[in-house]
Amino acid sequence: MTGTKPAYAYGNLTVFTPYPGVTAQPGGSVSFPLTISGPPGYVTLKVASLPAGWTGQIYGDGREIHEVFIPSDDSSRAELRVQIPQSQKNGDYDLTVEAVGAKSRATLSINIKVKAGASGGDKLDVQYPSLSGPDTASYSFRATLSNNSGHGRFYSLGASAPEGWQVFFKPAYQENQITSLSLDAGKTQDLDVTVQPPKGVKAGKYSITVAAVSGSEAVKTNLEVVITGTYRLNLTTPSGRLNADVTAGRKGAVTLQLENDGSADLQNISFSAQTPQNWAVTFEPSSIDRLASGEKRQVTAFINSSGKAIAGDYVVSITASTRETTADADIRVTVHTSTLWGVVGAIIVIGVILWVMWTFKKYGRR
C-alpha cells in the first residue's frame, strides 16, 4: 500500500490515510480521509492522543461517529478533522488514531507540521483591498472564498466595521444579499462585498474586517476605505431670514451664519459681494482660516448703501468661497430715506407756502 502509513496493526485490522504527514497554519483545520479494513464486523474508532489545546473528531457522512462497520471482504471509510489553535507555535506535532475490533487493534500515527503562512488552508482573498472616494459613495470589493479542506463546509459571513457603517455580501454578478453559503471541498466562490459609509463621515482612513466562519474556524481579510471628503458650505442667517433694513447713505449690519456641512475641513474661506452701483459691503472677520467639518461660524456683513438710493428693495448677493466649493446668499435690502431729508423737505414746503402767502398779500391789492 504505497503512500499509506498503517501503524501497529494487530491481527488483520488496519487503519491508514494517504497523507499522514501534512503542513498547516496556526489556527487552521486539517482533514484526513481514513480507510479501515480487516475482518467483517464492528470497529471502534477514537483519537487516542492529541497535542494540548488541539481538538480532533472522527466523522462519517458529515456526522461525528465513534464506530464503523466493515462488510465482508471490504473496508469502511471515515474522516478525521483536526483543529489547530491560533496561538500554536511552529513545529512538528503528533497525534494518534486507534481502531479496535473484536479480536484485533490498529493505530495510526499522524504528523502535522505547523508553519505560519503555510498554504492549503481556507482563504478569503480580495483583489483590491483599499478603495477611496467621497462619503456619498458605496464601495464594492471583489472577494474570493476558497474551501481548501477535504469536505464541504457551511460558512457564515460577517464583518467588523466602524459605528454607522454597513456591510453587505452578494454572490458575484447577483443582486440577492446573503449572510451564509455552502461550499464543496476544493471549490471557490466569488463574492461582492459592499461597504456603505454613514452620511457625513469625516475624511480619513477606515478599516473593515470581513470574515467567513465555519465551525470554530474563521478566515478573515482586512479592507480599507479612504474617505477623501466632500466639500459643502451653507450660508444663511441664524434665523434663516435673508433680509435687512438700511437707511440710504448709512451703514447697516447683517449677521450671517456659515456652516461646513461636508465631511472635509475647509481652509481659507473668503467673502465677496455683488451690490447695486455705488454700494459697498465689508465683512468682520474678513476671512476664516479653517472651518472644521460640522462647524458653524458667524460673520457680520456691513452694508453701505448709496446716499442717492431711493426708497425701495434691493438685492445684495454674498458669496463665501474656498478652493473646493462656494456658498451664496441673496439678501433683500430695504432702503429707507433719511428723516433729515424729510425735515428739509417739510421746511422747503413751508417756505414755499409762506412765500406764496407773502406775495399774494403784497401784490394782491393792486
Residue 157 pLDDT > 90, yes or no?
A: yes
Cβ neighbours of 329 (radius 10 Å): 20
DSSP 324-336: S-EEEEEEEEEEE
pLDDT band at 340 (very low <50, low <70, confident <90, very high): low
Instruction: Read off the pTM.
Output: 0.52
The residue to which cell 435673508 is assigned: 242
Cell of 357: 402767502
DSSP strands (E only) in 184-250? 188-196, 204-214, 217-227, 233-236, 243-247
Q: Structural domain boundaries of the chain? A: 7-114, 123-227, 233-338
- Does the fold of domain 233-338 match that of domain 123-227? yes
* The pLDDT of residue 342: 59
Give the span between the Cα atoms of 23 and 148, in whole angstroms.
13
Contacts 24+ apart (CB under 8 A), 62-65: 62/151, 62/152
If residue 344 lies in a helix (H) or strand (E), which one and from where to where? helix 339-363
Nearest to 338 by CA among 242, 241, 243, 252: 252
pLDDT digits (tens, 9 = 90+) for 243-254: 888 888 888 899
Please state, rounded to an integer, the average pLDDT across all residues of the chain.
Answer: 87
The highest-level CATH class for domain 123-227 is mainly beta
21-30, 179-188, 253-262, 283-292: the lowest-pLDDT one: 21-30
Which of residues 359 and 40 earns the better pLDDT score? 40
Name residues whose C-beta falls within 8 Å of residue 353's C-beta, 6 or more positions apart in sequence: none
Pick the CATH number of 7-114 from 2.60.40.10, 3.40.50.300, 3.40.50.720, 3.40.1190.10: 2.60.40.10
User: Which pLDDT score, from 0 to 100, does residue 311 have?
Assistant: 86
How far CA 48 is from CA of 8, 110, 276, in Å, comes to: 13, 11, 96
CATH number for the domain formed by residue range(s) 233-338: 2.60.40.10
Of the candidate ranges 7-11, 123-127, 332-336, the one whose mean pLDDT is the lowest: 7-11
Higher pLDDT, 229 or 133: 133
- The reported pLDDT for the residue numbered 228 is 85
CA distance 85 to 89: 9
